């Protein structure tokens, strides 16, 4: 591991980071990919991926990421398992990565692929009952809810997919959504509307999660301000994502109002030699397919940067 400087550092091992690693390794760029745990990212928790081209039967997110990881390893992508606490871009020539154990490595070019994490509701009871009926991952925790009644909060792709998955175990799944229609892709809506175990509470938000030792009920408020209590044994919170940007110097990187990093079409950030790819990037759509494309693109853009610097 001993090296303390690389031409290129890739931060994060989800689809964008692994693809960047693959392209960097094949381009024989001196690189390291840093990931705090096993590679895979958020997709590891995705039950089923049906929209990644080349897999006509679909496959689980877990399997897809195993394949991407072994693909990266086949080309000797250099992966370092270590927790980063901050990035120092004060010296734009030599970017600093600071680890939890206070050690530091530097690089000429940096590709940020730190991804995103599920949003929290931010209501009373949520933190205290986390892991005790409050969950952010249906595919992880669904088997603990056999024959129970659970709520899914949200109306996007993930919420709808997870609601459908949960019906394999739960007796009943209630989707609670703040609007009067789902936002999910039409084909996914068709699946849940056909599922008899799913019902809906529209135009409503959760204002509290209650229970003695485990989740027992939700307090809801509808768009007219009427409150009600709703008994459930579990609640799955799937209301979008928040960028993993805590370790990034946002004031230097030109983040959008949600904290995602803005780049040009070639994934360049405002800091020369710093690129962003995947879910951390400010953009319209966050899918595996474009994360991979951006990861590859970022390596080529980084290569241009490295060449221009050395010439």
Partner 1 sequence: MTSDKVKQLNDADFDTAIQSDQPTLVDFWAPWCGPCKAIGPVVEELAGEFAGKVSIAKMNVDDNPVIPGKFGIRAIPTLIVFKNGEVVDQVTGAVGKSQLVELINKAL
Closer CB to partner 1, residue 130 or residue 167?
130
Chain centroid, CA 174 distance in Å: 24
Give the whole-angstrom CA distance, residue 1 versus residue 307.
25
Verify whether residue 141 is a known catalytic residue. Answer: yes
Angle between helices 15-26 and 288-310 (to 10 degrees): 40
From start to end of 119-243, where are the E strands? 134-135, 149-153, 172-176, 198-201, 204-210, 217-222, 227-231, 234-237, 241-243
Q: Which of 47, 107, 113, 137 is catalytic?
A: 137
Minimum CB separation from partner 1 for residue 302, in Å? 26
Closer CB to partner 1, residue 140 or residue 289?
140
Give the whole-angstrom CA distance, residue 46 versus residue 139.
7
Minimum CB separation from partner 1 for residue 299, in Å? 23
Closer CB to partner 1, residue 99 or residue 202?
99
Verify whether residue 140 is a known catalytic residue. Answer: yes
Verify whether residue 113 is a known catalytic residue. Answer: no
DSSP 24-70: HHHTT--EEEEESSSTTGGGGG-S-B--STT-TT-B-HHHHHHHHHH
Minimum CB separation from partner 1 for residue 247, in Å? 10
Q: Map residues 236-275 to x or -, x wherever contact with partner 1 holds by CB under 8 A.
A: ----------------------------------------
Contact between residue 155 and residue 182 where contact means Cβ atoms under 8 Å apart: yes
Among 19, 45, 263, 290, binds partner 1 (CB under 8 A): 45
Minimum CB separation from partner 1 for residue 45, in Å? 4
Question: Which residues within the stretch 71-90 sit at the binding site for partner 1 (CB under 8 A)?
Answer: 81, 83, 85
Tokens describing residue 112: 């940020």
Question: Which residues within the stretch 94-153 sit at the binding site for partner 1 (CB under 8 A)?
Answer: 100, 130-137, 139-141, 143-145
Question: Hey, is 129 helix, strand or coil?
Answer: coil
Q: Which of 4, 50, 76, 140 is catalytic?
A: 140
**By CB under 8 A, how many residues form the interface with partner 1?**
32
Contact between residue 206 and residue 218 where contact means Cβ atoms under 8 Å apart: yes
Residues of this chain that interact with partner 1 (CB under 8 A) are 36-38, 40, 43-46, 61-62, 65, 81, 83, 85, 100, 130-137, 139-141, 143-145, 213-214, 234
**Which positions are annotated as active-site residues?**
137, 140-141
């Amino acid at each position: 591991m001993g090296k303390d400087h690389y031409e290129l550092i890739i931060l994060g091992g989800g689809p964008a980071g692994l693809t960047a690693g693959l392209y960097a390794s094949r381009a024989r760029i001196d690189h390291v990919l840093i990931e705090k745990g096993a590679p895979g990212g958020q997709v590891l928790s995705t039950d089923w991926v049906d929209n990644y081209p080349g897999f006509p039967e679909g496959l689980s997110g877990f399997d897809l990421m195993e394949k991407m990881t072994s693909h990266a390893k086949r080309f000797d992508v250099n992966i370092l398992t270590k927790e980063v606490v901050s990035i120092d871009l004060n010296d734009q020539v030599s970017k600093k990565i600071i680890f939890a154990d206070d050690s530091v490595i530097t690089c000429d070019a940096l590709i940020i692929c730190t991804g995103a994490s599920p949003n929290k509701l931010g209501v009373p009871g949520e933190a205290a009952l986390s892991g005790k009926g409050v969950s952010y991952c249906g595919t992880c925790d669904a088997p603990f809810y056999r024959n129970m009644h659970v709520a899914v909060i949200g109306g996007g792709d993930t919420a709808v997919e997870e609601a459908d998955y949960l019906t394999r175990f739960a007796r009943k799944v209630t989707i609670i959504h703040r609007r009067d229609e789902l936002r999910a892709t039409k084909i996914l809506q068709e699946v849940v509307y056909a599922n008899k175990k799913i019902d809906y509470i529209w135009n409503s938000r959760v204002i509290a999660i209650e229970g003695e030792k485990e989740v027992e009920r939700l307090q809801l408020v509808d768009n007219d301000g009427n409150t009600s209590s709703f008994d459930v044994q579990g609640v799955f919170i799937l209301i979008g994502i928040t960028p993993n940007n805590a370790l990034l110097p946002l004031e230097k990187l030109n983040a959008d109002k949600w904290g995602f990093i803005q780049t040009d079409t070639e994934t360049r950030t405002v800091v020369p030699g710093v690129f962003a790819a995947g879910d951390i990037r400010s953009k319209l759509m966050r899918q595996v397919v474009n994360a991979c494309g951006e990861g590859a693109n970022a390596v080529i853009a980084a290569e241009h940067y490295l060449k221009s610097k050395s010439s």
